[in-house]
Structure 1
């Protein structure tokens, strides 16, 4: 029924992805056009790219009213890029996807309708392209979340579908990539259902991974204790 159709905001976050960003934007647009939804927007966040990403983005979105472009003047990291996208989106369902092309956008097709108090978490069954250091960091994050933060997810750092109204009410505090852990933990602790769905992890066609850069890892380590404190305070308010 038409009354049950939901609206969608997809955030595409980009940092030095000039070789793949236009294809990702095209895939996003094509997928959204196939979904049975009421309305959509695509929010493109460039996190201070130093290559030709911003030019590629502007070329693709020119004249397309359902696209918006939010560039950072400097590189601020994935956490800030996600926050910019989430807090500048306007529709009911929000999903952030990377501009590197490693997420298959068509995996969103079965989820045109997402029930209230539910979020969808895609998880990568195999991370064979990860470095040893990044795999260790990922596994350590799972253990810390389970033991100290009271929740367990198969892949807290991959693509999610959230309810916008749920995110804006969480009073998010973290600035690093651990903002995803903060969101998921707060949603689970407040009674939201996490629907975990297996996802393919596509190979890069260009560019290099930035997810395990020294700057990002150091910030994430610093924020681990901060996340623990934030969630402890959140539990006391429930």
Structure 2
């Protein structure tokens, strides 16, 4: 793990959240690290845990840790705006937990990462210097500490998104859970549709399409110490495929139909109607 640079420029305010599902062996350590790093990268901050219907003791350990830090900060977990908040919801999937975290975040910048201890949160310091000229700073795993199946899935996801969504291949690691996002981006891209693994794809696709500036920074990736990943679960993969078609319909097909319909209405009295509508359709496909 890296040591934080104490001379680093700080963000004015930062919300940090962790989607968590069955991370009883990790959640306390993740919160401990976050709360040791954040005072050095933001003037004002909050930490949120979104427990996505865990069936183990994740909720218990998250609440216990939150109470300890809130008490140290002269607060209680029942206050309106405590330092650490724990939100429990019925299981809605990874995307549902991310969406809840984004909705609950209150500050100018929002950062989220997974609660599995596979990232070094102190590497957030490398992101801060890029916030002056970018709306998003997104991580990519330099050395994925995963088996070949997960690495192959990542490559397949990248190609799949390019084919079905026209997503730019220059995004190095779409689903890397190490993202720093400005509030103005969220104001434009929310609400998100996906409740599954495609939530990051949807967020980045919308931000890219709207022209927001982003910077990609390499981060280290570590093997899991506790718990198990659900990313290679066949049901999760199947849901991601279904989500892709749903996103394609909502984000690409339906807007094109609306634009063509508007063109039709505008040109309804034009004798060159067919030719002009075809020309507009062709330009849309090429844009």
TM-score higher than 0.5 here? Answer: yes
CA distance in structure 2 between the partners assigned to 1:90 and 1:116 by the alignment: 22
Work out the number of aligned pairs and report it: 232
CA deviation after TM superposition for structure 1 residue 191, in Å? 1.0
Counterpart position of 1:90: 106
SS in 2 for 1:11: strand
SS in 2 for 1:46: strand
Which one of the candidate residues 210, 213, 216 is aligned to 1:193? Answer: 213
TM-score, with normalisation over the residues of structure 1?
0.89
Deviations 1:32-55 (A, max 9, x none): 0111x2311111101111111111
Counterpart position of 1:52: 57
Counterpart position of 2:34: 28
Greater Rg by CA? 2
The answer as to whether partners of 1:24 and 1:101 remain within 8 angstroms in 2 is: yes
- Structure 1, unmatched stretches of 5+, are none
Which one of the candidate residues 111, 115, 128 is aligned to 2:132? Answer: 115
SS in 1 for 2:116: coil
Alpha-carbon distance change, 5 to 94 in structure 1, aligned in 2, over 3 angstroms = closer
CA distance in structure 2 between the partners assigned to 1:201 and 1:234 by the alignment: 38
CA distance in structure 2 between the partners assigned to 1:234 and 1:166 by the alignment: 20
The answer as to whether partners of 1:87 and 1:168 remain within 8 angstroms in 2 is: no
Deviates more, 1:55-64 or 1:139-148: 139-148
Counterpart position of 1:180: 200
- Structure 2, unmatched stretches of 5+, are 1-9, 71-81, 260-286
The answer as to whether partners of 1:117 and 1:191 remain within 8 angstroms in 2 is: no
SS in 2 for 1:62: helix
Q: Does 1:125 align with 2:142?
A: yes
Deviates more, 1:163-172 or 1:84-93: 163-172
CA distance in structure 2 between the partners assigned to 1:38 and 1:99 by the alignment: 23
* Bigger relative contact order, structure 1 or 2 (CA pairs below 8 A, ≥6 apart): 1
The answer as to whether partners of 2:138 and 2:180 remain within 8 angstroms in 1 is: yes
Which one of the candidate residues 223, 230, 237 is aligned to 2:250? Answer: 230
Q: Does 1:162 align with 2:162?
A: no
SS in 2 for 1:161: strand
